[in-house]
């Protein structure tokens, strides 16, 4: 039970070593890892960031779009 990730939220640990700053985050299953990594990179520039758990896909992603006429033109050629 304790090994399972929570559904949301996260906890982070920031450690300063002789090699630099290390940030470790344990995140819930509904947490957007991409957004969290971006935020941590801004807060801790040049830090080594490790994230465990969470969603690998961003909540919003860009998808290619085509009109139906463009698709039918490609299949006919």
Cα 22 to chain centroid, rounded? 17
CA angle 57, 61, 64 (to 5 degrees): 130
Residue extents of the structural domains in the chain: 10-76
Measure the N-to-C terminal CA separation of the chain; round to a whole number of Å.
Answer: 56
Question: How many residues are recorded in the chain?
Answer: 77
pLDDT of residue 32: 80
The pTM of the full predicted model, rounded to 2 decimals, is 0.59
pLDDT of residue 8: 67
At 6, is the secondary structure helix, strand, or coil? Answer: coil
pLDDT in tens, the chain (77 residues): 345 555 667 889 999 999 999 999 988 887 888 888 899 999 999 999 998 887 665 556 677 777 666 555 556 55
- CB proximity list for 5: less than 8 A, separation 6 or greater: 26, 27, 28, 29, 52, 53, 54
pLDDT of residue 45: 93
Q: To which residue do tokens 């990594």 refer?
A: 37
pLDDT of residue 68: 66
């Amino acid at each position: 039970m304790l090994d399972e990730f929570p559904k949301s939220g996260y906890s982070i640990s920031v450690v300063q070593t002789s090699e630099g700053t290390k940030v470790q985050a344990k995140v819930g299953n509904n947490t957007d890892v991409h957004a969290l990594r971006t935020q941590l990179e801004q807060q801790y520039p040049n830090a080594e960031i490790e994230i465990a758990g969470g969603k690998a896909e961003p909540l919003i992603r860009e998808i290619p779009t085509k009109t139906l006429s463009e698709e039918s033109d490609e299949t006919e050629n």
